[in-house]
Amino acid sequence: MLIKTKGIVIRAIKYGDSSAICNIYTKDIGMVGFHLPGVYGNKGKIKLSFLQVFNLVEINFNYNKNKNLQRISDITCLKFPVIQTYHQQAFLSVCSEILQMSIKEQEINEGLFNYIEQNILPAFEHPIHFWQLPYTMLNVLFYYGCAPNVNGYEEGDLLDMQEGVFSKSLLSLKHTADSNSSKLIYRLLNNQTNDLDHHFKHRHQVIEDLILYFRLHVNPHFELKSREVWHEMLAEN
């Protein structure tokens, strides 16, 4: 089946002497793996520059659902992130890992694709906000349909991360965010990022809680191996 679709490059790694394996999140098929021969040897028709993480591309390929890796017949780069600072590079690396750990093969989610295209990609063009990472994590959860439910929230409520709801007197439960982290997550869910403090410890705890939330609702093996990158990014502010 011949497919023409927009896609976002999530990961590209060298395979053998000159080939590449690339994961592209497509609008119409979901996450698709591609084998691209000759990319590193300058002998293939696809340029390595097209495979940079978070490039927005348009691709043509013959889709065979019985194959793990597809072959691209044509690719055009529509937009690429302009990375000028260490903070932007750190944010790009962590976002890439979040999506790798979250998006399942051939799982179509047009809302999530549109969010990445319309919100995450433009974010690389601006200074990274102190709370950008946990805010992005919550938005990914929202487009997966499993973000915490803020309906009925009252001051002092705690987040039950297993059930995804805010309630009172939950400290005895195994997976409960403390009062401060719960309040910050609630405010992030209501787009109150500009009013949040710069306190590193608070941001770090919120991100730790959200990693657990991802494990409970999205992927039981969810982790951020690039932890040192975002740790340094947050610690500087």
Q: Based on the domain organization, do 40 and 101 belong to the same domain? A: no
Q: How many domains does the chain have?
A: 2
What is the pLDDT, as a whole number, of residue 59? Answer: 95
Q: Based on the domain organization, do 127 and 158 belong to the same domain? A: yes
User: In this structure, what CATH number is given to the domain that contains residue 61?
Assistant: 2.40.50.140
Most confident of the ranges 3-12, 76-85, 101-110, 128-137: 3-12
Domain boundary among 35, 52, 79: 79
Domain boundary among 63, 79, 95: 79
Q: What are the C-alpha distances in Å from 176 to residues 57, 98, 191?
A: 40, 22, 22
Lowest mean pLDDT among 189-193, 223-227, 229-233: 229-233
Token readout for 102 is 């979250």
Q: Based on the domain organization, do 52 and 113 belong to the same domain? A: no
Residues 138, 210: contact at Cβ < 8 Å?
Answer: yes
Q: Based on the domain organization, do 226 and 146 belong to the same domain? A: yes
User: What CA dihedral angle connects 135, 140, 145 and 150, to 10 degrees?
Assistant: 0
Report the mean per-residue pLDDT for the chain.
Answer: 88
> Which residues are bridge partners to 57 per DSSP?
7, 77
Lowest mean pLDDT among 27-31, 153-157, 223-227: 223-227
Q: Does 235 have pLDDT greater than 80?
A: no
User: In this structure, what CATH number is given to the domain that contains residue 164?
Assistant: 1.20.1440
Domain boundary among 27, 58, 79: 79
Percentage of the chain beyond pLDDT 70 is 92
User: Is the entire prediction scored with pTM above 0.85?
Assistant: yes
Q: Based on the domain organization, do 29 and 44 belong to the same domain? A: yes
Q: Based on the domain organization, do 154 and 196 belong to the same domain? A: yes
Q: Based on the domain organization, do 133 and 55 belong to the same domain? A: no
Q: Based on the domain organization, do 102 and 207 belong to the same domain? A: yes
Q: What are the C-alpha distances in Å from 31 to residues 108, 135, 138, 172?
A: 8, 23, 20, 39
Domain of residue 113: give its range.
Answer: 86-235
As a whole number of angstroms, the distance between CA 223 and CA 33 comes to 21
What is the pLDDT, as a whole number, of residue 43? Answer: 66
Contacts of 140 (CB under 8 A, 6+ apart): 98, 99, 102, 112, 115
Q: Based on the domain organization, do 188 and 102 belong to the same domain? A: yes
What is the pLDDT, as a whole number, of residue 99? Answer: 95
Q: Based on the domain organization, do 96 and 157 belong to the same domain? A: yes
Q: Based on the domain organization, do 100 and 59 belong to the same domain? A: no
Token readout for 87 is 């903070």
3-state SS of the chain is CEEEEEEEEEEEEEECCCEEEEEEEECCCEEEEEEECCCCCCCCCCCHHHHCCCCEEEEEEECCCCCCEECEEEEEEEECCCCCCHHHHHHHHHHHHHHHHHCCECCCCHHHHHHHHHHHHHHCCCCCCCCHHHHHHHHHHHHCCCCCECCCCCCCCEEECCCCEEECCCCCCCCECCHHHHHHHHHHHCCCHHHCCCCHHHHHHHHHHHHHHHHHHCCCCCCCCCHHHHHHHHHCC
Per-residue pLDDT tens over the stretch 194-203: 778 778 888 8
Per-residue pLDDT tens over the stretch 135-150: 999 999 999 999 999 9
Q: Based on the domain organization, do 40 and 107 belong to the same domain? A: no
What is the pLDDT, as a whole number, of residue 109? Answer: 93
